[in-house]
Amino acid sequence: MGQDYLHKSARQWPPLGLAEQHFLLACLQKTPPLPPVPAAFDWQTLAQRAVSDGLAPLLYRRLQAEPGVNAAALEQLKRSYYQNLSANHIRLTELRRLGQLLHPHGIRLLALKGAALAQTVYEDPALRFMGDLDVAVPAPQAETALAELQAAGYTLHQEQALGQPDRAAMQEFGWHLRLTKWVLGQQIELEFHWPLRQSVLVSQVAHLDLGHIWSTAVPLDLDANLWQPAPPAMLLHLCLHIGLQHRFSDLGLRHYLDIDRLVSHHQHEPDFWPAFVRLAQSARAAQVSYFCLWLTQTLLGCQMPASVLRQLAPAPWKRALFQRYFHQDDAINRTRALYGRRRIWWRLLAADRPADLLLGPWRALFPGRDFLSSYYNVHNRAHLLALTIWHPFHALSRAARRRVRDIQQRTQPPIRPPRQA
């Protein structure tokens, strides 16, 4: 992942004050005029936080023609905009090259999140900061695709390069692998998703049907063999990513902006909202989707249909509990409000059904024969019976190894791969 995803980057600068928060939100919205700037306005912290959180390109675009903007802050935002313009040009050119690389093998390349949204719902690809490129391939073709990427010069990150076969690495690291390569002086970080599964369990609560995502995928760039999830599926993926993987605050405002731009771009399409509601409910992600949509509306003024919010809404006591433990400035300042002792409240708020809190770990340990067959590439009934017994021990030991690696990564400085010419 890019450095911006690490919550430590949010600690580099002081939190934004109320005046700076109000001004920042107004800058990110499309229509409201900017509020007056008080005399004690902290331009330096605003610019530094905007750069750290990947918002600087958008702020520069909004403020470049505004009078009264601090010159030093505007210059910092300008540098970030042009750096992102150059970096995204390299990333998106490489993305098209990868799609073309996989085309002769009949492998479609699915672009996720920023890799697709920057080219579709943002008026300028330079406005969407990307720490990496998120891509996916169909599960049966994952090993072939990974081999092609490695032949093209992509290498697994150090903690995943264990000298083991590709399938073993896929089994060890679950639903995505991280690869990297230097291209024209730019380090390309590639998140290679969903290698061996037709469905995934997200944070032991939501069940994501990857078969549906692939069957409804729409072209992003046919000449480059690039596809993207249909807009309702893309919105669901964003909600799961924000609410379940990053607990509503790790990523700051950037991914709420994705929801804002995606909804603004597609909400008038006839089946957009009905399809999204069906997906969220079938994935057992209605409540986490509600909180993401409600926060986007609260923060950025993106009006969500009241009927949609009613269909997704959790019980009133859950809404009250969420507002008690999670505040608007937690998303703005990337405060880890639902970590530590509060993580139990996060799990409760994110679960559509209380039973899912218990069934999630059970599904992870006993996922069923279809999953075991694709995960271990085994089809013999006797072998599958043996794997049913052995898999829980494998899953628990893998979780323990992952915990140890996480502790080691937090206590050691990151090691960057050598820069290539």
Which residues lie below 8 Å from residue 62, measured CB to CB, with a gap of 6+? Answer: 27, 28, 34
DSSP symbol at 184: T
Asked if 346 and 247 count as a contact pair (C-beta separation under 8 A), the reply is yes
Distance, in Å, from the CA atom of 20 to the CA atom of 80, rounded to the nearest integer, reads: 19
Asked if 256 and 232 count as a contact pair (C-beta separation under 8 A), the reply is no
Which residues lie below 8 Å from residue 297, measured CB to CB, with a gap of 6+? Answer: 303, 304
Q: Give the containing element (helix H, strand E) for 82.
A: helix 71-102
Angle 247-83-21 (CA atoms, 0-180°, nearest 5)?
45
Tokens of residue 126, six digits: 């330079």
Distance, in Å, from the CA atom of 211 to the CA atom of 215, rounded to the nearest integer, reads: 6
Say if residue 26 is exposed, middle or buried (CB neighbours under 10 Å; 0-12, 13-18, 19+): middle
Tokens of residue 98, six digits: 């990868």
pLDDT string in tens for the chain (421-residue length): 344 444 445 556 688 999 999 999 999 997 778 888 888 899 999 999 999 999 999 999 999 988 889 999 999 999 999 999 999 999 999 999 999 999 999 999 999 999 999 999 999 999 999 989 999 998 888 889 988 999 999 988 755 555 555 666 666 665 678 899 999 888 999 988 865 455 566 666 788 888 889 999 999 999 999 999 999 999 999 999 999 889 999 889 999 999 999 999 999 999 999 999 999 999 999 999 999 999 999 999 999 999 999 999 999 999 999 999 999 999 999 998 998 889 889 988 888 888 777 777 777 788 788 777 767 777 888 888 898 888 888 878 877 877 776 677 666 654 444 444 4
Query: According to the model, what pLDDT value does residue 49 have?
Result: 92
Distance, in Å, from the CA atom of 117 to the CA atom of 113, rounded to the nearest integer, reads: 6
- Write down the domain spans for the chain: 3-365, 366-411
Which residues lie below 8 Å from residue 403, measured CB to CB, with a gap of 6+? Answer: none
Asked if 245 and 324 count as a contact pair (C-beta separation under 8 A), the reply is no
List pLDDT tens digits, range 83-126. 999 999 999 999 999 999 999 999 999 999 999 999 999 999 99
pTM assigned to the model: 0.86
